[in-house]
């Protein structure tokens, strides 16, 4: 099983991170709030939040119904110290997915999971979802080919390499519908990355 502790985030030999702790989320938060029209009463879940940088930026803007969870003990503990997020972020808690929420963020997360886990996560997230799921995943051009981007190929913990169309179908098979691509300054679709918005099908 892949390790997502300090050796993944700092001076890593298994990912491209030199120091994840320097990563900034200010522009991402601003872009998401504006484009998705997120209001301060919305419940937000950042699933795979790392150290909670995005959670912190939302809190800084007065969004107090935001939580994050991550599979890395190290990242969660670092985030609590860095951002004073004692109550907002926690070690891997899939139960948060089934609770009432307006938005779920899955950024650079799904490519690390086996297919059965992806299906389980999407089933849970569909419960009590009032608005949408926003994802970002690295992609390949054709099924069976490597990722388009070297930065995606170099991460040894990436185990799902698929096309944009494969990901859309995976969501549709679980009762979601694809809304649109994100093409913002800080998060956008490209030949090597799929950034998209999904919502639950009304009949689901």
Give residue 1's pLDDT.
Answer: 46
In a domain, 58, yes or no: yes
Classify strands 193-200 and 129-138 as parallel, antiparallel or unpaired: antiparallel
72: CB partners within 8 A, 6+ apart: 4, 5, 8, 9, 50
In a domain, 165, yes or no: yes
189, part of any domain: no
Residue 41 in domain: yes
186 in any annotated domain: no
Q: What is the mean pLDDT of residues 55-64?
A: 97
Contact between 85 and 46 under an 8 Å Cβ cutoff? The reply is no
Q: Is residue 190 part of a domain?
A: no
Q: β-strand 176-181 against 89-91: which pairing, if any? A: unpaired
**Which residues on adjacent β-strands are paired with residue 24?**
none
Query: What is residue 18's predicted lDDT score, i.e. its pLDDT?
Result: 65
Pair of tokens at residue 1 = 């099983």
What pLDDT is attached to residue 14? 75
Judged against a pLDDT cut of 70, whether residue 32 lies above it is answered with yes
161 within domain boundaries? yes
Query: Confidence class of residue 13 from pLDDT cuts 50, 70 and 90?
Result: confident
Place of tokens 């679980």: 174
* 3-class secondary structure, 107: strand
**CATH code where residue 105 lies:** 3.40.50.150
Domain encompassing residue 135: 6-14+24-180+195-200
| CA distance linking residue 102 with residue 57, whole number of Å | 18
pLDDT in tens, 99-155: 999 999 999 999 999 999 999 999 999 999 999 999 999 999 999 999 999 999 998
Encoded tokens for 153: 């190929």
Q: Give the tens place of pLDDT for each residue, 148-201.
A: 999 999 989 999 999 999 999 999 999 999 999 999 999 999 999 999 999 999
pLDDT band at 7 (very low <50, low <70, confident <90, very high): confident
Query: Could you tell me the pLDDT band of residue 17, with boundaries at 50, 70 and 90?
Result: low
**Residue 188 forms part of a structural domain:** no
Structurally, how many domains does the chain consist of?
1
């Amino acid at each position: 099983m892949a390790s997502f502790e300090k050796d993944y985030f700092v001076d890593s030999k298994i990912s491209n991170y030199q120091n994840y702790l320097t990563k900034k989320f200010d522009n991402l938060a601003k872009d998401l709030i504006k484009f998705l029209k997120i209001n301060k009463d919305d419940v937000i879940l950042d699933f795979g939040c790392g150290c909670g940088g995005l959670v912190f930026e939302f809190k800084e803007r007065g969004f107090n119904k935001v939580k994050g969870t991550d599979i890395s003990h190290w990242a969660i503990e670092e985030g609590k110290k860095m951002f004073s997020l004692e109550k907002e972020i926690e070690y891997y808690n899939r139960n948060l997915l089934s609770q009432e929420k307006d938005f779920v963020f899955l950024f650079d997360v799904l490519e690390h999971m086996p297919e059965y886990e992806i299906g389980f996560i999407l089933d849970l997230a569909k419960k009590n979802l009032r608005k949408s799921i926003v994802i970002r995943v690295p992609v390949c051009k054709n099924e069976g080919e490597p990722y388009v981007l070297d930065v995606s190929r170099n991460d040894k913990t990436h185990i799902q390499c698929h096309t944009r169309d494969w990901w859309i179908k995976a969501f549709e098979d679980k009762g979601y519908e694809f809304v649109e691509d994100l093409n913002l300054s800080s998060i956008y679709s490209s030949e090597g990355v799929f950034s998209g918005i999904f919502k639950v099908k009304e009949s689901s």
